Amino acid sequence: MLFLKRYLPLVICGFTGVVFGIQYYVPHKASEDLLTFINDWMIIIFGFSMILALASLFHVHYQKIRRRQSGWGFSLIVFIAIIVTVIIGIISQGETVDEKGLTSFGWIYTNMLVPLSGTMFSILAFFIASAAFRAFRARTLDAFLLLFAAIIIMFGRVPAGEYLWSKIWGAEFPLQMGDITEWIMGVLNMAARRGILLGVALGAIATSLKIIFGIERAYLGEKE
Amino acid sequence: MRKIANILLNLDRRIIFLLIAAAVLVPLLRPFNLPGISISQPVKGVYDKIESLAPGDVLFISMDFDPTAKPELYPMGISILRHAFSKDLRVICMTLWAPGVGMAEEVMSKVAREYHKEYGKDYAFLGWMPGQLTVIIGLGQDLKKTFPKDFYGNKTDRLQIFENINSLRDIDYMVDLAAGDPGIETWYLYGKEKYGFELGGGCTAVIAPGLYPFLQTGQINGLIGGMRGAAEYETLLNRKDKATVGMDVLSTTHFLIIGLVILSNIFYLITRKGKTVR
């Protein structure tokens, strides 16, 4: 059992990690066929993982309803929404439109999912404005610089800002608002982002190597 | 003075909500019709590449977003498809986001109808498939094997548009319209890097700053960022639509937030000054 639970997954992980690490650099047909074969399996496994995800979702919400935990009514809505959508989706054969126009499934998508998702996202505008008013303070020099850059970007990324700038300095002024925002985005922002990306990439490489060589075993459920 | 500043610092957030609601509604009801929008180089990168393609060339679009990103990415999809169809490009579209299937299909069929394009010959919609990055690798290895059927159930090897298109290596340009992950970075890492096609992107404003390193190195040749980017693309096409209309709303809300931040900092300085004196 120990072999199946601990050593076999490590062997599979190490072997596939090394093989596909090398595969990337070998453009031979056999190597490409191997990638295609494994990739097909990965797509199939990914499909099955969705069933697992659905089962897990049902389990979590079922437990909430059974124990009458706070907000259990929302879990009930999750159940009803999923079941109704799946039934209507099957009846509509997964089609959102047919020759008559929107199917029932399409109606749910267009008139329920789209506006509900849009509403959820647009609520952010209200909270961002409120949070900016309360929290965006120039308490230190760093915070002031961040605040200053944010104001320039917000000012310069809208036509009204560009319009006002050109009205103040004139359309012939060599430094237009668009140039300033592009410089902040393309130089200051880009340099900081690149640093973060490099750090993340190096971390990902180190973690991948640790997993491939069996040093990092947290994915097997083992503690550090 | 300090007392007033303190009161204003603790302003009821519902007042701020009302101000935001007004800043959104007023320009929608009474548009300001602000003068032209300047075109940024990243947006021009995508436009110029599509402009350089010849009729019959293949543009591959992945609409990796869901309804939450509709205001920003839907107008981008419309503009890019209008540009592509006006140049008689062949367009293949898909999505890596399951909730985005309905919208991607809607954008595709809407613009195709506008330009009287024929399904299967001028354009095709592959739909969605589970797997995210594995789907990208699959498309790079064998497109027709990964998607044996399109969204409508037609066999891909029988559609005229897929003649001579066996994998991502055979496309002329790809644009990914993304609201997150999987998105532009995923297409770069698992698609362009291995299969060597030219890649451009369109994304929500919130993720655009994170993609500038890819832009500067040429890993992506252009980037349409947020509703502003979509409005720039509409300006380039000389066909103003929803994104351009949205610019008025964006202007008022940005100005309101700038005003609120400046005011709150003035109030903060007043209250702090008072405390220092004491």
B273 and B187 together in one domain: no
Collapsing DSSP to helix, strand or coil, B165 comes out as coil
Q: What is the mean pLDDT of chain B?
A: 93
pLDDT of residue A98: 81
Report yes or no on B193 lying in a domain.
yes
Interchain CB distance below 8 Å, B67 and A113: yes
Interface test with B, best of A157, A188, A205 (most B CBs within 10 A): A157
- Give A 189-208 residues with CB within 8 A of chain B: 189-190, 193-194, 197
Give the count of beta carbons closer than 10 Å to the beta carbon of residue B24.
20
What's the number of domains chain B is made of?
2
Are B104 and B93 a contacting pair, CB within 8 Å? Answer: yes
pLDDT of residue A204: 95
Confidence of residue A134 (pLDDT cuts 50, 70, 90): confident
pLDDT of residue B41: 93
Of B17, B71, B247, the CB nearest to A158: B247
Report yes or no on B245 lying in a domain.
no
Are B42 and B225 a contacting pair, CB within 8 Å? Answer: yes
B160 and B268 together in one domain: no
Provide the β-strand partners of residue B201. Answer: B176, B223
Q: What is the mean pLDDT of chain A?
A: 90
B90 and B163 together in one domain: yes
What is the Cα A147 distance to its own chain's centre? 27
B115 and B175 together in one domain: yes
B236 and B254 together in one domain: no
Report yes or no on B35 lying in a domain.
no
B162 and B269 together in one domain: no
Provide the β-strand partners of residue B178. Answer: B64, B203
Give dist(CA A82, CA A206) in Å, integer: 40
B86 and B146 together in one domain: yes
Report yes or no on B17 lying in a domain.
yes
Q: Is A146 on the interface with B (CB under 8 A)?
A: no
CATH number for the domain harbouring residue B73: 3.40.50.10160
The secondary structure of chain A, three-state, reads CHHHHHHHHHHHHHHHHHHHHHHCCCCCHHHHHHHHHHHHHHHHHHHHHHHHHHHHHHHHHHHHHHCCCCCHHHHHHHHHHHHHHHHHHHHCCCCCEECCEECHHHHHHHHHHHHHHHHHHHHHHHHHHHHHHHHCCCCCHHHHHHHHHHHHHHHHCCHHHHHHHHHHHCCCCCCCHHHHHHHHHHHHHHHHHHHHHHHHHHHHHHHHHHHHCCCCCHHHCCCC
Give dist(CA A88, CA B18) in Å, integer: 39
B111 and B191 together in one domain: yes
Domain with B267, as residue range(s), is 2-30+250-277
B201 and B272 together in one domain: no
Structure tokens at A134: 């309360």
B259 and B172 together in one domain: no
B156 and B267 together in one domain: no
User: Which regions of chain B are under pLDDT 70?
Assistant: 36, 274-278
Collapsing DSSP to helix, strand or coil, B14 comes out as helix
pLDDT of residue A223: 63
pLDDT of residue B207: 93
Are B58 and B165 a contacting pair, CB within 8 Å? Answer: yes
Q: Is B38 on the interface with A (CB under 8 A)?
A: yes
| DSSP symbol at B191 | I
Are B125 and B149 a contacting pair, CB within 8 Å? Answer: no
Q: What is the pLDDT of residues A47-80, one digit of tens each?
A: 888 899 999 999 999 999 999 999 999 999 999 9
Of B20, B247, B261, the CB nearest to A126: B20
Structure tokens at B215: 């832009």
**For residue B182, cis peptide bond before it (omega within 30 degrees of 0):** yes
Are B91 and B63 a contacting pair, CB within 8 Å? Answer: no
- CA distance to partner chain B, nearest, from residue A35 (Å): 8
pLDDT of residue B274: 57
Q: What is the pLDDT of residues A5-48, one digit of tens each?
A: 888 999 999 999 999 999 999 989 999 999 999 999 998 998 88
CB contact set of B168 (below 8 Å; sequence gap of 6+): B60, B136, B139, B140, B143, B174, B191, B195, B197
Are B207 and B180 a contacting pair, CB within 8 Å? Answer: yes
Give dist(CA B225, CA B75) in Å, integer: 12
pLDDT of residue B244: 92
